Amino acid sequence: MDRKRELKEQYKQMKPAMGVFSIQSKVDGRCYLEETVNLKSGINRAVFQLNWGSHPNKELQNDWKKHGEDSFIVEILDELAYSEANPTADYSDDLAELVQIWREKLRQDGTSFYSKNGEW
């Protein structure tokens, strides 16, 4: 019984990897960036939405439908470490800054982007 309780507590203490991922078209090189507090579930959600035609970025959704999943590269660009001093902190500002850093870095390399809610 103690082992079960110990495993349950370990699970509660686990922190999912957070950071920035990209979905890049192999056809025209355009890139979609997204920050998330849970990279694995964020990527799974985005791919699920794209496969079901319900992704909020309509440009990306249209290209996904037109060219298919095999025409895109989905990858983690960067992970954000948890603060040891305050592991339950709100990391949304840090993640937003991280995605901006990546956008600028990729833009300097000549990458163009799918717009995000009419921005970019």
Which pLDDT score is estimated for 47? 98
Please report, for the chain, the start and end positions of each structural domain, with discontinuous segments joined by +. 16-108
Position 20 scores a pLDDT of 98
CA–CA dist 10, 110 (Å, integer): 44
Specify the 3-state DSSP secondary structure of 115.
coil
Q: Are 31 and 112 in contact (CB under 8 A)?
A: yes
**What is the band of 104 on the pLDDT scale with cuts at 50, 70, 90?**
very high
SS3 assignment, position 80: strand
Residue 118: what pLDDT?
47
CATH topology of domain 16-108: GIY-YIG endonuclease (3.40.1440)
Label residue 116 by pLDDT band (50, 70, 90): low
Strand order in the sheet with 72-80: 31-36, 18-25, 72-80
